[in-house]
Amino acid sequence: SFTPGGTEELFKFGAFVALSEVLFVAYNRVDVVIAGRYFDIAQIGLYGVAIQLATMLMAKSVPLFNVVAFPAFARMNALTGNSNEYLITTLRFASVLIFPVFFGVAMVGEELIGIVLGSKWLEISLLFGILVVSVPLRILAYIISPAMLAAGGARVNMTNAFLTLVFLTGALFALLPLGLTGVALAWSSASVCIFLLTLVRGGRLLSVPASRILTGIAPAFAVAVVMCSVIFAADLALPGVQGVWGLYKVPLGALVYVALFWLFFRRRSEELFHVVARLTGRRPGVSGS
């Protein structure tokens, strides 16, 4: 006969995962729900477009990553009992890409919105910039989450989602006097919240010091900040360059980022090239005929 005793832990795990998903949906919608009571439909529409643009890439890539990452982390735990090195490497390489991309998009948001949506939508540029600059922290938190699940941390994930929901709700009410800008700031502060919770509580679960994770992502963050500073200085020096011509900041930022990262973090750059070469089936240093 069937005895449920042996499946108790499995049911608990599934329940925590399901609750985490519910809370995840809640804290990704609560900003619109609360703002909808204080702003008119037109204003909510502007905010909705801004957040959709800011999170578009994350919404497409993170679920796909989680589908692949959870089995990978679980398998490495089963084979070696430790997937931490794989996690650190993943975070390190992901940060090299996501910080310059999202910070760079924030710097050229006005130009991109004007070209893609038209001049009537330029008023969402500030909202877009506030939202998109915090997206990398959410992505990094979502990268750590599958490792936590593989280590049996479904309850920790659920608690993190609940605490973030509570934090975001409080931040929204506190910042509502600032208008839609306050709503965007609350959403971005929630990105910081979920990242810090995942960093500290997830690191404790996985026996990975928070300092080690921060050390892994710090180079990309620092170089991306310098890149933004250069773009900002160029924007001040060339105030008349606008519209499609303002996209000169894209290659400028890419050049600055790649050059500085190669100059100051040569070893990590070489590791990244080696990984890319392996993924594309090429040997580093060997060119095709």
Q: Tens of pLDDT along 73-132? A: 556 555 555 567 778 888 988 899 899 999 999 999 999 999 888 888 999 999 999 999
pLDDT at 76: 55
pTM of the model: 0.84
Enumerate the domain spans of the chain. Answer: 11-273
Asked if 229 and 192 count as a contact pair (C-beta separation under 8 A), the reply is no
Instruction: Please give the sequence-ordered ranges of beta strands (E in DSSP) within 192-260, or none if there are none.
Output: none
Q: How far apart are CA 41 and CA 103, in angstroms?
A: 29
pLDDT at 14: 77
pLDDT at 98: 92
157 burial type by CB count under 10 A (0-12 exposed, 13-18 middle, 19+ buried): buried
Higher pLDDT pick, 287 / 99:
99
Stretch 51-61: mean pLDDT, rounded? 84
User: Tens digit of pLDDT for each residue in 171-182?
Assistant: 999 999 999 999
Task: Report the mean per-residue pLDDT for the chain.
Answer: 85
Q: How far apart are CA 108 and CA 261, in angstroms?
A: 21
Asked if 182 and 176 count as a contact pair (C-beta separation under 8 A), the reply is yes
- The answer to whether residue 139 scores a pLDDT higher than 50 is yes
Q: How far apart are CA 178 and CA 80, in angstroms?
A: 51
Question: What sign does the CA torsion over 12, 13, 19, 22 have?
Answer: negative
Q: How far apart are CA 103 and CA 96, in angstroms?
A: 12
Find the helix packing angle between 210-237 and 249-264, rounded to 10°. 140
- The answer to whether residue 288 scores a pLDDT higher than 80 is no
